[in-house]
Amino acid sequence: MLSVQTRAIVKATVPVLEKQGTAITKVFYKNMLNEHKQLLNIFNRVNQAKGAQPTALATTVHAAAKHLSVLLPHVEQIGHKHRALQIKPEHYPIAGEYLLTAIKEMLGATAPPDILGAWREAYGAIADIFISVENRMYKEAAWAGWKPFEAVARERVASDTEEFTVKAKPESGIDLSKCLSSLVST
């Protein structure tokens, strides 16, 4: 649970996030992905190039700062995507480090220690919520990690959406008959 002081500081930074949120997240992704090449396959490179990923993160961070109390429904939605991408608890400290560094870099001398400390505490609390929700999702999953599948059908269902029907390869050891139809992956 965040302290009253931390909540107040984070909420006070909302105007800064409205103005500089995307710039902060662009610096965040650039620095993190340059120094942690193993994370390149987690983030959609097209969305990175077009700026959609930094904008999405900036919007999420802004919404979390503005409405800390209504974060959980968004965590569930984002958690499903994180699980599909195999985001693990060990990725959160890396992201936190680079997010705080980006905030400090963008705010420069105007980034007093109390603001950075509040964001460190807020990020830690938010990361703990994500980790808890995603751990539950991993436990509920039919299998852990990546498994080999074969696409047996492909159908365009909208101008920007394709539906794939897959079957598990024998070596995967997966019985898809126990899974629900219409599962979505990323």
Residue 120 confidence (pLDDT)? 92
State the pLDDT at residue 175: 77
Q: With H, G, I as helix, E, B as strand and everything else as coil, classify residue 157.
A: strand
**If DSSP states are collapsed to H, E and C, what string results for 163-180?**
EEEEEECHHHCCCHHHCC
Q: Which residue has the higher pLDDT, 38 or 46?
A: 38
Query: What is the share, in percent, of the chain residues with pLDDT greater than 70?
Result: 90
pLDDT digits (tens, 9 = 90+) for 114-145: 989 998 998 898 899 999 999 999 888 777 88
CATH class label, 4-140 = mainly alpha
CB burial of residue 2 (10 Å; 0-12, 13-18, 19+):
middle
Query: pLDDT tens digit string along 52-103?
Result: 777 777 777 767 776 666 677 778 888 888 888 889 999 999 999 999 999 8
What distance in Å separates the CA atoms of residue 56 and residue 29, rounded to the nearest whole number? Answer: 12
The set of catalytic residues is 92, 134
% pLDDT > 90, the chain: 26
Q: Where in the chain is the domain with CATH 1.10.490.10?
A: 4-140
Better-scored residue on pLDDT, 148 or 93: 93
Question: Does the pLDDT value for residue 47 go beyond 90?
Answer: no
Residue 182: the pLDDT is 53
Residue 181: the pLDDT is 58
Closest CA to 131 of 79, 95, 80: 79
Task: Please give the structure tokens belonging to residue 79.
Answer: 């958690």
13-17, 34-38, 59-63: lowest mean pLDDT where?
A: 59-63
Give strand pairing partners of 67. none
Residue 169, Cα to own-chain centre: how many angstroms?
A: 29
Query: What is the pTM (predicted TM-score) of this model?
Result: 0.79
